[in-house]
Amino acid sequence: MHMSKELNNILNNREKPIDQQALLDYLNNQLAGAELHDVEKALVDDPFLHDAVEGLQQMSPIQLQHHVDNLHRDLQKQVARKKTRKNKRRFKDQPWLYLAVMVFLLLVVICYWVMHRYM
Amino acid sequence: MPNNRYQHITDAELLNQFYADHDNAWLGILLERYTLLLLGVCMKYLKNEEEAKDAVQHVFLKSITELQKYKVEYFKSWVYMVAKNHCLMKLRGKGRWHKEINETVMKTVDETVDKKEYVAHDHSLQQMELALEKLNPEQRQCVMLFYLEKKSYQEITEATGFTLLQVKSYIQNGKRNLKIMLERSHAHE
């Protein structure tokens, strides 16, 4: 019986999260049928999604993609910045590198001094 | 979307990649998945677009720094808590939330695990029907229309005359009650 399968499915939660496009379509009232039901089922089970939809419904739906794009751009900058900072720290963690630089500078100074003196 | 090619990788796998090589790019991919949801949550609490966008940036930054410090098991619930805490602190005015967040958030458990385990129990049809019978009429009506007839919230409000808010809460509470009843009957076996 078809109904019985549905009956047992009431307590099952969907495994796959709702993707961003489906959510945007939902907010734009562009979903119907099974796709709409999928999102609404997830809304019952997922407090994060539920809160988010409540907030997003207060915003202009056509602007949302734009906001997301901007936030992603900033995020990528953050991620890149943190990476360079980490690289700098790594440089500090390697004392031999410091030593090599010092020795090299010392050599330059000595060369300069020798040349200046004997030439 | 630029990160579509990572779609098949789960949150947990991305986090593990990050813990393995400490490359923030993994966190970038992970956080992008939640941008829209985070924006919505921040908007819900702060009720101001600019503040909400600012708050999302804070959550991103916070996540990148915090995840370097300790291991998070369930990213989704964690980042939701980070966002909620940030907004609540903001609403409360400037406060010390740094310490607090670590303590509350570290304890966050993933509710979905509990639910998934639950699914493993196969409830007999009679049990389910019995439990449905025991729901109050409003909850039963909404649960049946929603889960069995797959009606949308909107269609249910039209069919029943309840408000949208009522429909949502009848479905949510009805499902919770069903679960409680079935767990109880399971424990009695």
Structure tokens at A24: 């945007």
How distant, in Å, are the alpha carbons of A99, A116, B131, B142, B164 from that of B159?
Answer: 80, 98, 23, 10, 11
Q: B171 near B143, Cβ under 8 Å?
A: yes
In this prediction the ipTM stands at: 0.80
Q: What is the DSSP string of B10-32?
A: -HHHHHHHHHHH--HHHHHHHHH
**Quick check: B172 and A44 CB within 8 A?**
yes
Residue B103: per-residue pLDDT:
46
* Residue B62 to residue B58: CA distance in whole angstroms: 6
How distant, in Å, are the alpha carbons of A26, A66, A73, B36, B62 from that of A69?
Answer: 19, 5, 6, 10, 20
Give, for all 189 residues of chain B, the pLDDT tens digit: 445 677 788 999 999 999 998 889 999 999 999 999 999 999 999 999 999 999 999 999 999 999 988 889 899 999 999 999 999 998 887 544 444 444 444 444 444 444 444 554 566 778 888 899 999 999 999 999 999 999 999 999 999 999 999 999 999 999 999 989 988 877 776
SS3 (DSSP) at B87: helix
CB–CB contacts below 8 A, A to B: 141
Residue B70: per-residue pLDDT:
87
Give the Cα-Cα-Cα angle B116, A26, B52 (nearest 5 degrees): 90
**Beta carbons within 10 angstroms of residue B142's beta carbon:** 28
What is the mean pLDDT of each successive set of 10 residues along chain A, which is 119 residues long?
A: 66 77 92 92 93 94 92 91 61 78 94 86
- Put residue A29 in one of left, alpha, beta given phi > 0 → left and psi -120 to 50 → alpha: left
Residue A98: per-residue pLDDT:
86
Burial A109-118 (b: 16+ CB within 10 A, else e): eeeeeeeeee
Residue B96: per-residue pLDDT:
45
Residue B186: per-residue pLDDT:
75
Residue B140: per-residue pLDDT:
95
Q: Chain A: nearest CA to B167, how far in angstroms?
A: 11
* Residue B153 to residue B159: CA distance in whole angstroms: 10
Structure tokens at A107: 């050599």
Q: Chain B: nearest CA to A88, how far in angstroms?
A: 14
Q: Which of residues 64-93 of A touch B (CB under 8 A)?
A: 64, 67-68, 70-72, 74-76, 78-80, 82-83, 86
User: In terms of pTM, does the model score above 0.90?
Assistant: no
In chain B, alpha helices (H): 11-21, 24-32, 35-46, 49-69, 75-91, 98-106, 111-120, 125-134, 137-143, 153-160, 164-188
**Quick check: A7 and B53 CB within 8 A?**
no
